[in-house]
């Protein structure tokens, strides 16, 4: 039994490795795509220099901290693969029926592939973004002693983001067109995820809503922790991430189990 579990884990690690290797082959394309990140960071670096000059702060972060915060939130956002679109199309077309017969979990397969691709995108975009922030605003004081906790936070954030997008993709079992939900989700990320400004800077009511939703735990919280490490934030983030991974995991499992019963294979 234990050997079977080990082989099962190795199988998904191999899927992640293949996905990573495939993306490394297109590394030049990823670097070219990072030019968009530089444009965003340049605009906001000028904004924070102007707004936060003479010691001004936003949620405890000065202009340098705000730019580094945006480096990590933007890198997470633009590094997230679009595998949810592929899942959505497979459900709509019925191609999912053929993959269900293969010897792996459909959800875990896409999660492994998601992680492999995300790793390449994240490292590439972070290298470009960090270089720009360093040259523009100066270095980031890295919490080396707590870096392991920060890395764990980013890893759990990846799982939270995947489960949110995967659950939206599974709506294709019931809806002919579910792309508007992706658009709405993206706009909600801007606000409740704290893409541009830490949610701690929001008014109390809006901040409370952000704390309740999973968006913050996939974006703002790990970025804030990297820029300004606090033990209270760490435990709050990890608790929220684990709770939402559990809830979203149950949701995805329930949607998938109910959805596959609706699959009709035409012509074979």
What is the residue whose two structure tokens read 């804030």? Answer: 224
At 97-120, the pLDDT tens digits run 777 777 788 899 999 999 999 998
**The model's pTM:** 0.91
Q: Give the pLDDT of residue 3.
A: 52
* Among candidate residues 168, 221, 212, the one with its CA nearest the CA of residue 194: 221
pLDDT in tens, 208-233: 999 999 999 999 999 999 999 999 99
In the chain, domain spans: 2-260
How many beta carbons lie within 10 A of that of residue 42, not counting itself? 13
**Contacting residues for 229 by C-beta, under 8 A, at least 6 apart:** 143, 146, 150
pLDDT digits (tens, 9 = 90+) for 43-73: 988 888 888 877 778 888 888 899 999 999 9
Q: Residues 96, 100, 102, 107: what is their CA dihedral angle, to the nearest 10 degrees? A: 90
């Amino acid at each position: 039994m234990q050997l079977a579990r080990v082989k099962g884990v190795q199988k998904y690690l191999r899927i992640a490795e293949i996905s990573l290797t495939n993306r490394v082959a297109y590394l030049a394309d990823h670097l070219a795509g990072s030019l968009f990140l530089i444009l965003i960071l340049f605009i906001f670096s000028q904004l924070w220099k102007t707004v936060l000059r003479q010691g001004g702060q936003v949620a405890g972060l000065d202009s340098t901290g705000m730019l580094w915060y945006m480096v990590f939130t933007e890198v997470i956002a633009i590094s997230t693969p679009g595998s949810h679109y592929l899942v959505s199309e497979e459900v709509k077309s019925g191609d999912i029926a053929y993959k269900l017969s293969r010897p792996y979990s459909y959800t875990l397969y896409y999660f492994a592939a998601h992680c492999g691709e995300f790793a390449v995108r994240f490292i590439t975009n972070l290298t470009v973004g960090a270089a720009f922030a360093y040259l523009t605003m100066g270095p980031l004081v890295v919490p080396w002693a707590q870096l392991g906790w920060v890395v764990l936070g980013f890893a759990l954030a990846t799982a939270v983001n995947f489960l949110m997008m995967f659950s939206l993709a599974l709506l294709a079992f019931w809806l002919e067109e579910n792309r508007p939900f992706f658009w709405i989700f993206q706009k909600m990320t801007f606000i409740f995820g704290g893409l541009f400004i830490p949610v701690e800077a929001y008014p109390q009511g809006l901040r409370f809503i952000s704390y309740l939703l999973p968006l913050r735990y996939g974006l703002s919280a790990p970025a804030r922790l990297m820029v300004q490490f606090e033990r209270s934030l760490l435990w709050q983030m990890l608790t929220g991430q684990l709770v939402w991974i559990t809830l979203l995991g149950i949701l995805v499992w329930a949607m998938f189990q109910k959805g596959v019963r609706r699959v009709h294979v035409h012509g074979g």
